[in-house]
Amino acid sequence: MKIILLPGVRIYGPQPEHESFLNTIKSQTGCDGEIFYWEPGYKHPEYDLPLKLIRDFTYEVILDFQEAITRATEIVVPWGDIFIGHSAGSIISLVRQRPTITMASPAPLVDSVKKSAGINKKSADLLYLILRNPNIPILNIMNKYDILACPFDRPNVENYEYTGTWCNPLSYSPINAHSDYWTNTKVINKIIETIKKWTQKP
């Protein structure tokens, strides 16, 4: 069995915690695994303005989600048995039609597009793929304080909510909330437990 991991916001590039995260899951499940970073189709804007860290994060989130929605079916992703997608990577993972684990996923917001009067063909195609076969399991992991993560109301989706250990109302950081998944023991253990369940032989 092979796991494909797709991180989301790419402004920071490959991160050591991505490798550590996948290595822990591989060692506990006996699966092979690969991290896939897709190439951006845009140039990240640079401005001489205050709040650079939060501003860069916000720009990247907006651009990545736009790219994931418009290019999800065009991006060539390695073949895998199970996909794990974080943030915008979750949208690209979901269209692969394989058992999928999403973290920090805004994909349920794409679902709301179907309620709009002016839905275009590309959005409709993406919706069709995300809503897909109800027999394919999805685990949707949400940090309670991650403002980009949403529950998915589908019979084949298990929504798992947790609270990041660092969370404090006086020192809240949307960036930390969105990236806590990579090192959180509860998240990693839940993923390991789920993959073992999905890969059990009858």
- Distance, in Å, from the CA atom of 188 to the CA atom of 122, rounded to the nearest integer, reads 34
- SS3 call for 159: strand
What is the chain's mean pLDDT, rounded?
Answer: 83
- SS3 call for 73: coil
Range of lowest pLDDT (20-24, 36-40, 118-122): 118-122
26-83: pLDDT as tens digits? 999 999 999 998 776 667 777 788 878 777 777 777 777 777 777 777 889 999 999 9
Give pTM, 2 decimals: 0.85
Strand partners, 4: 34, 83
26-41: pLDDT as tens digits? 999 999 999 998 776 6
pLDDT at 117: 45
Share of the chain above pLDDT 90, in %: 41
- Distance, in Å, from the CA atom of 183 to the CA atom of 83, rounded to the nearest integer, reads 18
- Distance, in Å, from the CA atom of 192 to the CA atom of 187, rounded to the nearest integer, reads 9
